[in-house]
Amino acid sequence: MPVITRNEKFESKIHEMMVEDLKKSGEGRDTTKIHVSDLLSPRLSYFKKIYGNPEVSEETLGYFISGTVWHKYLQNVIYKDSMIEKEGEYAGVIATVDAINEEVHEIKTSRKYTVPDEPEERYIRQLMYYMAIFKKNTGVLLVIYFTAGRTVANNASSSLVFRAWKFEATDEELEEIREEVKDCSENLQKSLDTKEFHNLPLCPAWMCGKVYNGKIESLCPFYEKCKPIGRYPEDKLLLLNKRAYSKITRKGDERKGDEEKRGKKT
């Protein structure tokens, strides 16, 4: 029998190489300018621009790898030469869309266990901002849920689920969205100039801290500087997460009950 031992030296080398690659991926990005992604969580963008990007965490590395792999795969295999990644600009806001021709296509990955009936609000906003900036009346949002079906209790296996949503907007609606882009950008820039962030909206609650089994595993690196109202200190964040989890569980039970009813009817 061969002698099998854990190769921690190689593990460490791989980790260092991936962290270095993640850092390099942002080197070409002009951080002095405002990007569409900055408008989705302007308060977080404020802190990053003022204090610099935090150290790469294991969680950040995991999101980066899974997102990058899926983006490259879909761009190379599905879109190929028919649609290309493109950069645009409106009112000083930089927009980089995943794929575009007559339509705007945006690719997202999610670790959610349940596949929602509608996409997340921040996904919707990002695609609509791209449609408005590139002046395209139609867009497609493709989300890959690669842990769909899994449960917190670990009593069900996960599966890969693709979900695509089509968006259509009139020229008038796109004009309204362009105004929103301009207003959000000006608001963020004003905060950066005055070093005052309290007028910026809070990020989604899950971005404040990672909670699992009623315990906080990690916090946003800017949590103490931000002190988000209603989520600070940590006990308020835990209470907010508990309420959100109860709501999700309730919805899951309701959906399961509806599926069982439909099954009995058939």
What's the one-letter identity of residue 195?
Answer: K
Specify the DSSP element, H or E, that contains 46. helix 42-51
Q: Is the pLDDT of residue 253 over 90?
A: no
Which DSSP state fits 137? S
What integer pLDDT is reported at residue 255 of this predicted model?
53
Helix, strand, coil % in the chain, rounded to nearest 5:
50, 20, 30
Higher pLDDT, 79 or 81: 79
| Residue recorded with tokens 């809070």 | 202
What integer pLDDT is reported at residue 58 of this predicted model?
74
Give all strands (DSSP E) within 69-158, no chain letters. 84-90, 93-100, 104-110, 138-148
Give the integer Cα–Cα distance in Å for 129 and 107: 14
Angle in degrees, 0-180, between the axes of helices 58-74 and 8-25, rounded to the nearest 10: 70
Q: Is the pLDDT of residue 260 over 70?
A: no
Give the integer Cα–Cα distance in Å for 217 and 209: 7
Please state, for a pLDDT cut of 90, what percent of the chain lies above it. Answer: 56
What integer pLDDT is reported at residue 243 of this predicted model?
73
Please name the residues in contact with 89: beta carbons below 8 A apart, sequence gap of 6 or more: 95, 133
What integer pLDDT is reported at residue 126 of this predicted model?
97
Please name the residues in contact with 209: beta carbons below 8 A apart, sequence gap of 6 or more: 216, 217, 218, 219, 220, 223, 234, 237, 241
Tell me what the pLDDT averaged over the chain comes to: 86
CB–CB of 97/103 below 8 Å? no
| CATH architecture of structural domain 32-201 | Alpha-Beta Complex (3.90)
Half-sphere exposure of 232 (CA within 13 A, CB side): 12
Q: Is the peptide bond before 221 cis (omega within 30 degrees of 0)?
A: no
CB–CB of 50/192 below 8 Å? yes
Which DSSP state fits 206? G
pLDDT tens profile 173-221: 999 999 999 999 999 999 999 999 999 999 999 999 988 888 899 999 9
